[in-house]
Amino acid sequence: MDARGFFDLLFDDLVDKDHRLVIWSLPDKRATFHESIEAAVADANARADEADVYFGVGLVRSGIKRGRGRAADVRMISSVWADVDFGKPNGPADETAALALINRIGQGVKPTILVNSGHGFHCYWVLSEPLTEKKDASEWKASQLATAWSNYVKTQAWASKVSIDSVGDVSRVLRVPGTYNRKESSEPILITVQASASRVEFGWVTDLIDSTVAPARTKTGEAIIAGEIALREDAELSAAKLDIALEHDTRFARTWRRQRADMRDRSPSSYDMAIACFGVEIGWTDQDIANAIIHFRRKHEHDVRKAMRLDYIKRTIITARSSLAKGDSEKEVVDAADEPELDDLGAVRDDLARRLKIKISKLIKRGAEDSRYFLRLEDGREIFIGPISVLTNQAAMRNKIAETASVLPTTMKALRWDSVVGQLFRLEELVEMSDGDDQLHEWIAAYLTDHQPASGKAWAEVVPHQRPFLYDDRLHVHVIHLKRWLVHEQHEKIVTQDLRALLSAAGFACRKVSARVRGRQYCRSYWAGEWDRPVDALPLGETQKTTPAETTPF
């Protein structure tokens, strides 16, 4: 089955001007939105020779101007899906184990489409009727179903003692059959449809979801859902899981009865961490761990309100998972949890100022996907951090702070650093890359005020000087020229690598530019991207005698 047959089976006649099919590729991160399957297939095939090509599992609205669309832009889904890789740490060992897990997920019902992604399988159970975001309050919405299904899939994986990627967001992109997987192999691997079967009924999907975890509700009947964890004050760990844990693990039994004499600190927070560590060790889901913590606090008449804070629950689970994965013992993790929890954000900022020697106002997270982080200081300065891997790396963070603020935070133990990262997340504010206050776009707007971009054939005369230009409705900037302007005119301390990362996250792509000026050939690397703000373009100088290239600059 080729891409056309795949999309026909997956979407049938659903693709139109109000429900567009996204084609997206790497490494250029270019997204296009199609009103017909024919156009989407032609686009995917055109990119397949040089790029990894993906499509959006959810059909999106019209009018998206930047990025590939967010969850809020999705108008319809036609399936539920899973991504089951094998041969990765903690995942299914081989193809046979991956297929066994897929059979377990479907409870014997085969996926309508099974795609071999090169290192695993993408599975689609196509619904007999599509699901939109405009359902009545008593029915499922597309985003709700996708999240609940993802939780169900993860539950089945944990029950099989393996872990797989979470792909429950409706804006997810997966590989297009007939294209190639170039991500992890020197030899491209063809993406193929391995098998196909019948569509499934909506009720079959919800029955599977309800068979594992009933939707969590508050007393008013409204679910508190964020990410993949639902919090409710009357939550309980399932009786079956609790009985098994109490019967087979004396350490957990002592924890559950609040009888841990070996713990340095016996505060509720330390017991929460002990429960989280136990849950991680035996393969509980994040939802199981959250339910157990709430259940424990209510059982021993501790403050349940703290366990209803999603940031606290997530931080506890993340610390347990990351610390145990690094080889720390349960006791080391629990003993590190004895620091007092700061409920007031002012106290959080004071504590961070003591530890990091800078006064932080907010942690800015720019973009929900491929996010980049900044520390906004109380004096208005911003420290560019980069991706999440830098934020969680103590050595890298100390260098970033020292370079920008000229102070060097004290080195601390790894578990203490995890606590600092958790405090930073308390101050997190998400800023979508499309928002007007995006720092990079503000920088570029000011930069273009000082350096008017050339247009038309005038691009050739600015290339030797690394100045910006407009070509093919895209803005081209030279990263070194932009960085020098930032340092000298804006007094921003940013390294070239970080500036490239920002440009990439904003949808810019690096491309080679060649120009012949007055008989001399110049080659430069420019970053090109869409620019929808008005600019005053610089026309070709009347007195300058240049020889613009006869062809395009690329």
Decide if pLDDT at 539 tops 80.
no
Decide if pLDDT at 531 tops 50.
yes
Q: Is the backbone peptide bond immediately before 89 cis, with ω within 30 degrees of 0? A: no
Task: Determine the average pLDDT of the residues in 473-499.
Answer: 84
CA dihedral 400, 353, 351, 438 (to 10 degrees): -60
Cα–Cα distance, 471 to 78 (Å, whole number) = 39
pLDDT digits (tens, 9 = 90+) for 64-87: 988 898 888 999 999 999 999 998
Percent above pLDDT 70 for the chain: 85
Q: Which residues of 72-84 are buried (b: 16+ CB within 10 A; e: fewer)?
A: ebbbbbbbbbbbb
Cα–Cα distance, 504 to 527 (Å, whole number) = 9
pLDDT band at 490 (very low <50, low <70, confident <90, very high): confident
pLDDT digits (tens, 9 = 90+) for 11-68: 989 999 999 999 999 988 999 999 999 999 999 999 998 899 999 999 999 999 888 9
Q: Strand (E) positions, 133-230?
A: 173-175, 180-181, 189-190, 192-196, 225-226, 229-230
Listed range (95-104, 174-183, 199-208, 473-482) with the worst mean pLDDT: 199-208
pLDDT digits (tens, 9 = 90+) for 443-470: 898 899 889 999 887 888 899 999 999 9
Mean pLDDT (the chain) is 82
pLDDT band at 540 (very low <50, low <70, confident <90, very high): very low
Decide if pLDDT at 552 tops 70.
no
pLDDT band at 337 (very low <50, low <70, confident <90, very high): low
pLDDT digits (tens, 9 = 90+) for 156-209: 887 777 778 778 888 999 999 999 998 766 688 998 998 778 899 888 988 887
Q: Which residues pair with 55 in a beta bridge?
A: 23, 174
Give pLDDT, residue 215: 35
Give pLDDT, residue 431: 66
Decide if pLDDT at 338 tops 60.
no
Sorted by sequence, the CB contacts under 8 Å of residue 374 that are 6+ apart come out as: 363, 364, 366, 382, 383, 384, 385, 439
pLDDT band at 428 (very low <50, low <70, confident <90, very high): confident
- Cβ neighbour number for residue 392 with a 10 Å cutoff: 16
168 in Cβ contact with 81 (< 8 Å): no
Q: Which residues pair with 393 in a beta bridge?
A: none
Helix, strand, coil in percent for the chain, rounding step 5: 40, 20, 40
530 in Cβ contact with 476 (< 8 Å): no
Q: Is 161 exposed, middle or buried (0-12, 13-18, 19+ CB in 10 A)?
A: exposed
Cα–Cα distance, 322 to 391 (Å, whole number) = 14
Is the whole model's pTM more than 0.75, yes or no? Answer: no
Give pLDDT, residue 121: 95
Sorted by sequence, the CB contacts under 8 Å of residue 325 that are 6+ apart come out as: none
Sorted by sequence, the CB contacts under 8 Å of residue 215 that are 6+ apart come out as: 148, 223, 230
Question: Shortest CA distance to 93 belongs to which of 105, 83, 101?
Answer: 101
Cα–Cα distance, 484 to 489 (Å, whole number) = 8
pLDDT digits (tens, 9 = 90+) for 342-385: 556 777 888 899 889 999 998 988 766 667 788 988 887 888 88
Decide if pLDDT at 312 tops 60.
yes
Listed range (187-196, 320-329, 386-395, 494-503) with the worst mean pLDDT: 320-329
Residues found in the chain? 554
Give pLDDT, residue 455: 86
Give pLDDT, residue 172: 92
Cα–Cα distance, 132 to 144 (Å, whole number) = 10
Phi and psi at residue 416, in whole multiples of 5°? -65, -35
pLDDT digits (tens, 9 = 90+) for 250-284: 889 999 999 988 887 788 888 999 999 888 877 78
**Half-sphere exposure of 201 toward its Cβ, with a 13 Å CA cutoff?**
3
Cα–Cα distance, 394 to 403 (Å, whole number) = 14
Give pLDDT, residue 365: 83
Percent above pLDDT 90 for the chain: 32
Decide if pLDDT at 334 tops 70.
yes
pLDDT band at 219 (very low <50, low <70, confident <90, very high): very low
297 in Cβ contact with 268 (< 8 Å): yes
Give pLDDT, residue 216: 34
127 in Cβ contact with 202 (< 8 Å): yes
Decide if pLDDT at 149 tops 70.
yes
Cα–Cα distance, 286 to 268 (Å, whole number) = 19
